[in-house]
Amino acid sequence: MKRRRFLAQTMTAAAACLLLPSLLRADDAELEGDELADGAAAPEALKRSVFPLPPKDVDVIGEIQIIQARPEDTLLDIGRRYGVGFEAMRMANPGVDIWMPGEDTEIVIPTRFILPPGPRRGLVVNLPEMRIYFYPEPKPGQPRVVETYAVSIGRMDWNTPIGTHRVTNRIENPAWFPPESVRARHAAEGRTLPRRIDPGPDNPLGQYAIGLNVPGYFIHGTNRPYGIGMRATHGCIRMYPEDIESLVYRLPIGTEVRIINQPYKAGWFAGELLVQAYPVLDEHQGQEVGTYASAVRAVAARLEDRPGRIDYERLKAVVNTADGLPRSVSRQSEIRPEMVSSG
């Protein structure tokens, strides 16, 4: 019952962002131009989410962690502490109860990532991965970093738009105007949903929204953080409250936002080629993007940078498992101790 209520609340909170462009407003707090607020970033969100940007011939950041659950933990609590979403935690821990993992149960934290293909600039959203990568411009004399955050994306009938877009504005304390379809559903269930929901704990948009140059689509927070890492929105991209707070004031207007559909990522680390596979989005089942041939092409693209000997049986196993954990597909490779840490 608890799980069913959680899922129902999460889906109800999907804010039908397609109707927002003329309605979402900032209540006297809209940010203008590229002005950034000093000290606005949330330290803990940045600490868990920022990695040194590796050189061009290295594509992997972070490491898989293994921890022991505390008595009061749920799998979702653990995921949020480490900036990981619902599906990623579930896939990395098959057989572990989401609500009661159990004291001292070993939990895998999937915090090792292959950087998405393409330029390392701006903001990249990989839909099957349900994750954002942000490449901020460094200050003079500072090294480059990459930040990565878990997100929720649009449901099958409300797809998040693939393509290259731009940040157009940043909005603080947005109001939500529920569309008629959502209000009708609430009415059918005997509940009344007002035409406007002011900023506050009942607002499914959270405290911040980042506008894109695609009418009706935003990157925003949420008042239901347990839904992060699910297909639970009406097309918008939803972040943990602490994550969007750490990002919103540092994301300049005009920033490139590249939304991609890449279920198979390949990248080099320490002389080995790793592949990270995710389940294909439902609406792309049966299409070329979700085939083994697509994974082979992702590998072939990385082999253009340097030669390598690939174990294609391993690649098939990674594709068939599709649990989001990076695995080597190089021949005669072994898992080294430094690839896994405990915490």
Catalytic residue numbers read: 220, 236
Distance of CA 166 to the CA centre of its chain: 18
**Neighbouring C-beta atoms of residue 338, cutoff 10 Å:** 8
State the amino acid at position 319 in one-letter form: V
Q: What is the chain's Cα-based Rg?
A: 20
**Neighbouring C-beta atoms of residue 150, cutoff 10 Å:** 26
**Neighbouring C-beta atoms of residue 109, cutoff 10 Å:** 24
CA dihedral defined by 263, 268, 272, 277, rounded to 10 degrees? Answer: -10
Distance of CA 63 to the CA centre of its chain: 17
- Torsions phi, psi of 319, nearest 5? -65, -45
Residue pair 232/11 in contact (Cβ under 8 Å)? The answer is yes
Strand order in the sheet with 64-68: 106-109, 64-68, 340-342
Q: Determine the Cα angle at 281 with ends 285 and 181, to 5°.
A: 110
Query: Which residues, in sequence order, are bridge partners of residue 260?
Result: 126
